[in-house]
Amino acid sequence: MTEAKTTEFERALDEALGRALPAPEVPHDFPIRLSAALARATESDLTDLRARFEQERREQLQRLKADYIRVRRGAFGTLLGVAFAAGAVAVILMPWLRAHLGAYAPMAIAWGGSALGLGLTFFEPLRRTLRRWSDAL
């Protein structure tokens, strides 16, 4: 009983879809061309295609790994350079800060470094946000 209802429903659905969506125009030799194309697509073509895709994937992963290592080295070099520069600035500024700030000189250097780090961290996102707001106006 349910099978009869299902087939009746499917038939009604097919008729409704046929009325709502007319079939596209296809050339009269379409079935022949389709069969020929399927015959040309042999199993060896599919394995060649798969091998090519796998090779491309391996090459892409190698490029990603190389870029990742390059970025890590660049970040480490930048961090090292900034640390040495900060140390040099602290050594140069410490006598002057002690003369003017006394015991608060180390705190001033720490606060100055923190402010500089926060400024460098949030400068670009803040600039992007301000540019977006100015474009919206």
Q: What is the mean pLDDT of each run of 10 residues along the chain (137 residues)?
A: 72 86 83 82 75 93 92 88 86 88 88 84 82 81
Distance, in Å, from the CA atom of 105 to the CA atom of 51, rounded to the nearest integer, reads 65
- Is the entire prediction scored with pTM above 0.85? no
What integer pLDDT is reported at residue 112 of this predicted model?
Answer: 85
What integer pLDDT is reported at residue 18 of this predicted model?
Answer: 83
DSSP state of 24: P
DSSP output for 75-119: HHHHHHHHHHHHHHHHHHHHHHHHHHHGGGHHHHHHHHHHHHHHH
What integer pLDDT is reported at residue 55 of this predicted model?
Answer: 94
Q: Which two tokens stand for residue 47?
A: 């394995």
What integer pLDDT is reported at residue 3 of this predicted model?
Answer: 62
What integer pLDDT is reported at residue 65 of this predicted model?
Answer: 92
